[in-house]
Amino acid sequence: ASKLNRIFERFYRVDKSRSRSVPGTGLGLSIVKHLCELQKAKVTVESQIDQGSCFTIHYLKAIRATQND
């Protein structure tokens, strides 16, 4: 669980032993989090070992009041 909290940090890689066989810089999720924050959104993750991960982006929806004639 402690690693799950860190996956949105820049350059963080959960499994350093596989670093050479799995391409990437460790920036992808950091960029996703930053873009979400710019849009007032939030990204969350749920993960099960050996089953995978589910990422969800939560956006706030503005409700505009309309005036009836």
pLDDT tens for each residue of 46-63: 999 889 999 999 998 877
Q: What is the CATH number of domain 2-58?
A: 3.30.565.10
Which long-range contacts link 28-37 to residues 24+ away (Cβ below 8 Å)?
Answer: 32/8, 32/57, 33/8
pLDDT tens digits, 4-55? 888 899 988 877 665 567 677 889 999 999 999 999 999 999 999 889 999 9
pLDDT at position 18, please? Answer: 55
